[in-house]
Amino acid sequence: MDPTVLAITAFSAVLILLALRVPIAFCLGGAAVIGSFLYFAFRTGSFAPERAINPTLSMAYSNSFDLVHSYNLSMIPLFIALGHVAYHAGFTTNIYHAAKVWLVRMRGGVAMASVVGCGGFSAITGSSIACASTMGRICTPEMMRMGYDERLATSSVAAGGTLGSLIPPSVLFIIYGIFTETSISKLFLAGVLPGLLSLCGFLLVIYVWVSLRPEIAPATGTSYSAEDRRRAARDAWPAILLFVVIVGGIYGGVFSATEAAAVSLAIATAVGFAQRKLTLKQMVDSLKETCVQTASIFIIAACAKIFVAFVALTGVSNDILTLVTEAELSVFWLLVAIACIYLVLGMFLDPIGIMVLTLPLMVPLVESYGLNLIWFGVVVIKLLEIGLITPPVGLNVFVIANVVGDKVALHRIFAGIFRFLSVDMIVLILIISFPTISLVLTGG
């Protein structure tokens, strides 16, 4: 059997299975194992299944074992645990409260505070969906109670939740770094400015939207004294400290990304108990939730690693590279094609699934053009971030829809999302056009 045909068949099978709602890990692992078995069985020309069993099992075992025992992968449970501990200790809620106290006098101030709160939550948790789910429960009901337009109340949190993809620590950056063998510390630093640029863009969308349509964000009539604002800012210090430890420690060369995860988790736990905001039961619950999420990510990553090995076995990456070389595509059109692929896939698949499915083919192409893999990682994560709020299957939008229940129709949330998507596209163009935005903090 021709290896290229086998690889294309395996890719097609994965996409079909995903469309049938089969979990991404089973799709990738099943297609890779069956494809590898057929590759080894037909290697001599005739079908010899007895010769394929051992090499197939060996490939599946060695690749999954090596990945799960990767040192870099150990930071995933640490950052996930950090997010849960910070949430239970109230650090993330304090960020939102501080932003609300300072911005509430502005029209749309609570929506802006929600976006800032999402940014602060992202700087601790690294998960966009967790950010949207948690902040959605805190912010969206409050805005709707104040009389905010349902589109603004829901879409601002759905869009703000995507910041967890870019602002470090990001689980997507960790997985990208492992699969491309690039520095995760540099990826974290590369995501800081694009993440802040996206946050500022979302704030600008709210400001312009409310300026043109003041009735969508009624004045609250609530005011806080100067002492209230100072107290709220002081209460947010644990979250600020954690962000400084993670980003400042990595940028200053004090910690590696994994060490920063461990140190920040220890600090969050100690501060939570010292302030008596974290109980032993909450700590146990945090660890249980961490185990469940970590197991899910590890299973997907292990199956994806087997799939990557299968793709390398068939040599289909070289075939695609040859086709692109012969087509003599410019860098511009290559990036346009890659962006279109990610944007289309983002309408239907989850970010981790898209990344592990496409990286085996995309990375060799990017390297052949001499493009920086750190910068390309930021571009990919930004595209995945856009996919989280792109119809018809924007995961963050469905998370918010689940939070509000039948109070807001799904199409009303998407109606508000398009304003934020326009800014996302502008930021994406800026990141692609000016790689310095991503690379200035990495020294690249």
Q: Name the CA radius of gyration of the chain, rounded.
A: 23
Number of domains in the chain: 2
Q: Where are the alpha helices (DSSP H) in 89-225?
A: 91-103, 109-125, 128-145, 150-161, 171-180, 184-212
Do 56 and 37 contact (CB within 8 A), yes or no? Answer: yes
Asked if residue 303 and residue 217 are part of one domain, the reply reads no
Asked if residue 177 and residue 41 are part of one domain, the reply reads no
Asked if residue 27 and residue 117 are part of one domain, the reply reads no
Locate 299 and state its tokens.
């299973």
The end-to-end CA distance of the chain, in Å, is: 44
Residue with tokens 């109070």: 407
Q: What's the CA gap between 248 and 259, in Å, rounded?
A: 13
Do 124 and 83 contact (CB within 8 A), yes or no? Answer: yes
Asked if residue 87 and residue 54 are part of one domain, the reply reads no
- Measured CA to CA in angstroms, residue 186 lies from 192, 250, 261, 373, 438 at distances of 10, 8, 15, 11, 10
Asked if residue 57 and residue 79 are part of one domain, the reply reads no
24 residue type, one letter:
I
Domain span including residue 45: 1-69+298-314
Asked if residue 213 and residue 153 are part of one domain, the reply reads yes
Q: What residues have CB less than 8 Å from 327, skipping those under 6 apart?
A: none
Asked if residue 251 and residue 160 are part of one domain, the reply reads yes
Asked if residue 261 and residue 140 are part of one domain, the reply reads yes
Q: What's the CA gap between 437 and 330, in Å, rounded?
A: 22
User: Rounded to two decimals, what is the model's pTM?
Assistant: 0.84
Asked if residue 197 and residue 59 are part of one domain, the reply reads no
DSSP assignment string, 95-121:
HHHHHHHHHTTSTTHHHHHHHHHHHHH
Asked if residue 54 and residue 77 are part of one domain, the reply reads no
Locate 12 and state its tokens.
């097609």
Asked if residue 395 and residue 261 are part of one domain, the reply reads yes
Q: Output the tens digit of pLDDT for each of the chain's 444 residues.
A: 688 888 889 888 988 888 788 888 888 899 999 999 998 888 777 788 888 889 999 988 888 887 777 777 888 888 888 888 988 888 878 888 888 888 877 888 888 988 888 888 777 776 777 777 777 888 888 888 888 899 998 999 889 888 888 888 888 898 899 888 899 889 999 999 999 999 999 999 999 999 999 888 887 666 778 788 888 888 888 888 888 888 888 888 888 888 888 999 999 999 999 999 899 999 999 899 889 888 888 888 888 888 888 888 888 777 777 777 777 788 888 888 888 888 888 877 778 878 888 888 888 888 888 899 999 999 999 999 898 888 877 788 888 888 787 788 888 888 899 999 999 999 999 999 999 999 998 876
Q: Around Cβ 292, how many Cβ atoms within 10 Å?
A: 9
